């Protein structure tokens, strides 16, 4: 059984949930957010499609914790101590794989690792590399998302994101596309 918990059901979390509902290898997509209204919003948006998808959608209950095969962390973390205290109550099994897809990736990944969640893995730089290619820079960035970009490339990325924001474009779908590729590859490897 492949059950994925989306921890943080904002725009990115909802996009991940939508994408995972379409995957054959997923049985359940669980939703969790501190803001219960976000969960309800996602349910209203996504539940109708589950009549015709491989996976089912469920609101996460901590008693389901042991059934979770993977956590995709998309929540915005504003207070690290509150986050880790809450996370420990929800994900008791420290061997549960956790895909960190929330900024700052390295800090959250390190925080989870420090608290013995040893199967946490950060999103990589596929999205950074793809964005740079669209800006005419044919370089490959390696490491963790947001790390390792030379200063002039950081500036180009900021310009790109500023233009997207000005036009009202959210960088959700391309981000989730690359993130989902990483998640599915990881799930195939640990199957």
Place of tokens 């009202």: 168
Question: What are 2's two structure tokens?
Answer: 């492949």
Cβ(180)–Cβ(123) below 8 Å: no
Residues 6+ apart with CB under 8 A from 94: 116, 117, 118, 119
Question: Per-residue confidence of the chain (191 residues) as pLDDT tens digits?
Answer: 689 999 999 988 999 999 999 888 899 999 999 999 999 999 999 988 888 888 899 999 999 999 999 999 999 888 999 999 999 999 999 999 999 988 788 888 889 999 999 898 888 666 666 766 766 766 666 666 666 555 666 676 677 677 777 777 666 677 777 778 888 887 777 66
> Bridge-partner residues for 56, per DSSP?
28
Q: Which fold has domain 3-123?
A: Rossmann fold (3.40.50)
Cβ(33)–Cβ(39) below 8 Å: yes
């Amino acid at each position: 059984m492949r059950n994925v918990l989306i921890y943080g059901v904002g725009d990115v979390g909802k996009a991940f949930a939508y994408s995972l509902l379409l995957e054959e290898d997923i049985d359940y997509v669980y939703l969790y957010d501190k803001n219960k209204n976000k969960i309800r919003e996602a349910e209203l948006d996504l539940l109708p499609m589950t009549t015709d998808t491989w996976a089912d959608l469920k609101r996460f209950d901590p008693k389901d914790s042991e059934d979770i095969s993977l956590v995709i962390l998309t929540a915005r973390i504003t207070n690290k101590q509150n986050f880790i205290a809450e996370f420990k109550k929800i994900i008791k099994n420290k061997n549960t794989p956790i895909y960190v897809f929330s900024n700052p990736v390295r800090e959250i990944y390190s925080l989870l690792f420090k608290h013995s969640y040893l199967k946490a893995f950060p999103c990589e730089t596929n999205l950074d590399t793809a964005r740079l290619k669209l800006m005419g820079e044919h370089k490959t960035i390696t490491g963790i998302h947001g790390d390792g970009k030379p200063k002039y490339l950081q500036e180009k990325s900021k310009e790109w994101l500023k233009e997207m924001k000005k036009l009202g474009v959210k960088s959700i779908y391309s981000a989730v596309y690359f993130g989902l590729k990483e998640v599915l590859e990881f799930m195939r490897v640990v199957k």
